[in-house]
Amino acid sequence: MAPYAQYPSLKDKVVYLTGGATGIGACLVERFASQGCQVIFNDILDEQAHILCETMSSKGFIKPEFHAVDVTNVDLLKESIRRTHTQFDRIDILINNVSNDARHSPTEMSQAQWHSFMQVNLDASFFCCQEVIPIMQAQGGGSIVNMSSINVLIGPHNMASYAAAKAGINGMTKALANQYGVDKIRVNSILPGWVVTERQLNLWLTPEKEQEWQERVAIKGRLLPDDIANLTLFLASDDSKMITGQHMVIDAGRT
Ligand SMILES: NC(=O)c1ccc[n+]([C@@H]2O[C@H](COP(=O)([O-])OP(=O)(O)OC[C@H]3O[C@@H](n4cnc5c(N)ncnc54)[C@H](O)[C@@H]3O)[C@@H](O)[C@H]2O)c1
């Protein structure tokens, strides 16, 4: 791992993260663990999640805990957060990372499909906040980071519901930041550009698309999960203690 910043304020913090088995989420699990955090994450990919936990433990980090939860089941999701609180007595940091970026034609999407996308891409983040905020209020504060996307700003084809959900994430971020700043709860969102993960390479990021992207960015080179993790750690740490209600773009200058 590159010699990234170490944040003293993150040591021993309890972090709850959604969708942590692969992609940016897995990188976040690793990077928070490397800060000395106890990470609890959920996902539907059991095998990848268990491998990640074992890998972190073998590297000498506090072993992350995995909860097998489909976030569209809000009862299970909330139960997972309550279990985390019971076990570790606090939740200092919430990272709402889960998403489904499957493409769809706006004119063909059924009502059921629209709702199922919203359940993953917006509802899960709201209900995690709903469960975590009283915990953070009682313990005297916390930091919430919500993963949004620059798709809110650029509006790509066949991603209307994804972009709508991410715009919702930004609105929710602002409203919760204003309401709960008084409790020392900070809420920020991150809008990444096109981040190169296995899934993106397998599904969407063809050589042609990548060339198109590179022609449009100011800083040439791939945006990687670690680049998103660097900003996430900063927003989770006390180094950003006066930053809240912000929507931070990290896209190599695409927008
Ligand atoms: N990769 C990018 O280019 C990019 C760009 C902008 C924003 N983002 C945002 O960053 C975040 C992470 O992106 P990513 O590319 O790593 O996503 P990803 O799709 O690769 O990973 C998401 C994780 O969530 C899990 N997941 C999906 N549905 C679930 C469900 N119902 N219940 C529980 N877990 C579930 C997946 O198994 C996976 O581990 C997302 O919020 C995404 O919208 C990513």
Using pLDDT thresholds of 50, 70 and 90, give the confidence band for residue 1.
low
pTM over 0.95, yes/no:
yes
pLDDT digits (tens, 9 = 90+) for 222-231: 999 999 999 9
Residue ID of nearest Cα to ligand 1 atom 36: 19
Q: Half-sphere exposure of residue 119, counting CA atoms within 13 Å on the CB side?
A: 13
**What is the model's pLDDT at position 2?**
65
Residue 226 lies in a domain: yes
pLDDT digits (tens, 9 = 90+) for 64-83: 999 999 999 999 999 999 99
pLDDT digits (tens, 9 = 90+) for 179-212: 999 999 999 999 999 999 999 999 999 999 999 9
Q: Which atom of ligand 1 is nearest to the CA of 162?
A: 43
Domain that holds residue 210: 8-250
Residue 53 lies in a domain: yes
Residue 3 lies in a domain: no
Residue ID of nearest Cα to ligand 1 atom 42: 99
Return mean pLDDT, the chain. 97
CATH of the domain at 99: 3.40.50.720
Ligand 1: residues with CB < 6 A are 19, 21-25, 42-45, 70-72, 97-101, 120, 147, 149, 192, 194-195, 197, 199-200
Residue 2 lies in a domain: no
Residue ID of nearest Cα to ligand 1 atom 18: 23
pLDDT digits (tens, 9 = 90+) for 104-141: 999 999 999 999 999 999 999 999 999 999 999 999 99
Residue 1 lies in a domain: no
Residue ID of nearest Cα to ligand 1 atom 1: 195
To test the pocket of ligand 1, the residue of 24, 46, 75, 78 to mutate (highest count of ligand atoms within 8 Å of its CB) is: 24
Number of folded domains that form the chain: 1
Residue 164 lies in a domain: yes
| Non-local CB neighbours of 19 within 8 Å, separated by 6+ positions | 25, 41, 42, 43, 71, 97, 98, 99
